[in-house]
Structure 1
């Protein structure tokens, strides 16, 4: 007998990528990666630079132990700065390994070597040549090995879709044509498709990028969880059309950018650069959101691992009791909405009778619900049924703190919950969490009325706007006392 109860569709349906070329389009990668695993170019470059600095520092320390430490330290510092000046962290799409390594070596040796020569008078004369040769050789070998690794990593991340941002265009206009041309030239973004409400006037393709339908088709299109940003390209005078498009698309969690047709060429080129977010073009000014996402992921990994170790004995005991309490598997999995509307499979301890499972949450749990088992009532009331979601957290599909993931197609009464609040999808602008701001403010369990849905969405959006490392720690600290003191919530 299986230990896992599965929903009817066990995995997120994959997008068909057969028919490369005409079917896939001229600017669509061979493989699509969900936005939650996308890497930000500037953050990656900053990590590469930090690791280069650490490696050079270790080499410098090893060499300088025999000579003047201060002189070598200054040379190493200026040498690492020289890597940035010579664009050693700019990995062009067509740049070969030899060219990249040559630029990195020239940057390091010119900057570091010049500073070293300036400091040479302060070193003992007999040792100057030997010291310079030793430091230069070991530093060059170390950086060549590292940058070969960086170059290969960038190539791999671009191939599997983790580095290059994905965009869709709304409006098959002349500006869209120029944008597609710019992207095809520099390959710093992927355009997955074009949508246009005026299909009778729109072409089938824009420079090989397929027109996939109108904005109504876009709202439910399977490609949207893979989209980083939506770019609206409309004539500059069509203000009312822009307003209507923004109003229609605001229900989506995706970032929206506006490229107004008819501007000057310089301004339009700058807009293209911002839209593409040129990966690894610069190493300075890492966006705040990138660091916030990094801190949140680090918090999830550290705290989540500790929590899993501490909870393991309890989880084993719960699994045993469930098997003794009622026939059926121990675990239950359900398709739910994750970051950017991606469908993920969420794990729970089974709390309902196996033959009465409701993977689509068409009927939410009510007081005295006969579908819930005896042990199920206890683990639901204490939220112990959620403990297996620690595996979702460690896998990167969920976070410890965030909006609670709702089942795909969940209904409030006879109406799909997502249709009750225009901003419902805004709660998917962050990874779903095991606990959250809504949970510690009483919005826990089913949302069986339109008012309950609106309140939870409002609390979730408020959390997303305020999220910080310290707020997450506060929510985690408040979760247990809130659960112990909450006897009104039906779960």
Structure 2
């Protein structure tokens, strides 16, 4: 995601807002459902939102398969007529399928980020099916195929009915899923505000009113002076605290609400926060009442807004499908090898077969990574305070073998299937990992940018020789440079290339300490 902040003009409301903590309001849609931007139990991290953001692509793919199935079933049912007039029957049905899919996109049928009544979902599906059916009937007439013996006109009518019913059913399922995600907070963007100003107060007040933007907290460099909560939202620290705050994994956007006149402070904040894996937006001086709505709509753009922007969303969807297919296949094919390694670890030294370590993932989310245990149980270092060196006495006999061949990493295929990792990406570093006596994250200003994609089993840095422990600041800088280069170039084909290169690169480098 681009680090450059977007400029948004925000208008402050003329009224002031009390700093008293407000009572939790009820959702407008239901007196019993209580959801809102400030309920911690509904906060969702960026990785969970990523899956929802890709849902429109999955829905479109499902509709393609459904319409293909409908078309194929109708053509098979008319096999004798198809044998005598294949073009006159198959061409109209193929055209109908393409037109129906295009109509669904043009009608915004995959825009589930706003609630829609059931009849509207059914109306969109019926309209798309009708458009496809009319094209099928018209094409059949144009090619002169409307003969009773071949029955293309009746086939077009049958396709329209079957496609309308099928699309109606699938889109009701999609709508049900979207409503469930909406109630669970997955469709409500989460932001934090830097600057306890009147602009911040106006934005929070608007969020409380509409309930479709979650303001999780405020960060202000005057926090040491103990500012009061802003419209009921707590001040969680200064801007430096935001860089490492555990709340950052739940944040979609950062809004800087600092007066435009404070140019030096603005430049400092933008430079400091641009290294985070989160969009940064500037909320500048008020102009008029319409500016508040414009700014608010920009910030409240849901993660579920379909195909926005299209290219990154398509790439992310292709990457997730790639992960599921390849990781699932690899687990099946490698299951005998996994069993052998597990048995060897068990017999070699006492202790559990697997080693779990907390690491940083997408958007700085913390998760538990799985590995085969390669060290003696009593010497295991979950915080990576001491990195592995050549001849390390903590590593077991089997551990040396599986670390040298990277077999200890294979259980991370389960992390890939769960969505915490990807097959290709920056390698996940342990939380608090140190290089020498210094935490690695403090050695490079752009360190957090490597968290803009999910961590991977392998990656661009790995195939370029940056693997295993990092023992100097220069090694940290080189890895971060390679990770950022991959993030900027990531594509389906680059991921395939890296996967193909991984095994020969790993096996061909015996000198690397892993």
> CA offsets per residue over residues 106-132 of structure 1, 9 Å max, x none?
x44775687689789775799999878
The farther-off stretch of 309-318 and 379-388 is: 309-318
> 1:164 is matched with which residue?
188
2:175 is equivalent to residue 151 of structure 1: yes
Q: How much has 1:339 moved relative to structure 2?
A: 1.0
C-alpha distance 155-319 of structure 1, shift in aligned 2 (>3 A):
same
Partner of residue 469 from structure 1, selected from 483, 486, 492: 492
The farther-off stretch of 90-99 and 433-442 is: 90-99
CA distance, structure 2, for counterparts of residue 93 and residue 72 of structure 1: 33
Partner of residue 447 from structure 1, selected from 464, 470, 473: 470
> 1:307 is matched with which residue?
330
> 1:294 is matched with which residue?
317
2:326 is equivalent to residue 326 of structure 1: no
The normalised TM-score by structure 2 is 0.79
> 1:3 is matched with which residue?
none
> 1:205 is matched with which residue?
230
> CA offsets per residue over residues 121-170 of structure 1, 9 Å max, x none?
77579999987875554444333322221211111122233333322222
C-alpha distance 160-131 of structure 1, shift in aligned 2 (>3 A):
same
Instruction: Describe how 1:15-414 pairs up with structure 2 within 5 A.
Output: 21=24, 26-29=36-39, 30-39=41-50, 43-52=54-63, 54-56=65-67, 58-59=69-70, 65=78, 69=89, 81-84=102-105, 86-91=107-112, 93-102=114-123, 105=126, 107-108=127-128, 111=131, 123=146, 137-184=161-208, 187-199=211-223, 203-206=228-231, 208-262=232-286, 269-278=293-302, 286-414=309-437
2:479 is equivalent to residue 456 of structure 1: yes
Does the Cα contact within 8 Å between 2:36 and 2:212 map onto a contact in 1? no
Q: How much has 1:90 moved relative to structure 2?
A: 3.6
C-alpha distance 125-169 of structure 1, shift in aligned 2 (>3 A):
farther
CA distance, structure 2, for counterparts of residue 282 and residue 319 of structure 1: 43
Q: How much has 1:257 moved relative to structure 2?
A: 2.2
C-alpha distance 84-386 of structure 1, shift in aligned 2 (>3 A):
closer
SS in 2 for 1:332: strand
Q: How much has 1:342 moved relative to structure 2?
A: 0.8
C-alpha distance 203-383 of structure 1, shift in aligned 2 (>3 A):
same
Q: How much has 1:452 moved relative to structure 2?
A: 1.5
SS in 1 for 2:258: strand
2:510 is equivalent to residue 487 of structure 1: yes
CA distance, structure 2, for counterparts of residue 129 and residue 471 of structure 1: 47
Does the Cα contact within 8 Å between 1:40 and 1:163 map onto a contact in 2? no
SS in 2 for 1:223: helix
C-alpha distance 50-193 of structure 1, shift in aligned 2 (>3 A):
same
CA distance, structure 1, for counterparts of residue 458 and residue 113 of structure 2: 41
SS in 2 for 1:361: coil
Q: How much has 1:318 moved relative to structure 2?
A: 1.5
Does the Cα contact within 8 Å between 1:188 and 1:279 map onto a contact in 2? no
Unmatched segments (≥5 aa) in structure 1: 1-18
RMSD (Å), alpha carbons: 3.5
C-alpha distance 333-75 of structure 1, shift in aligned 2 (>3 A):
closer
CA distance, structure 1, for counterparts of residue 410 and residue 220 of structure 2: 44
SS in 2 for 1:262: coil
> 1:420 is matched with which residue?
443
SS in 2 for 1:155: helix
Does the Cα contact within 8 Å between 1:86 and 1:104 map onto a contact in 2? no
Aligned residues: 469
The farther-off stretch of 157-166 and 432-441 is: 157-166
Q: How much has 1:225 moved relative to structure 2?
A: 0.6
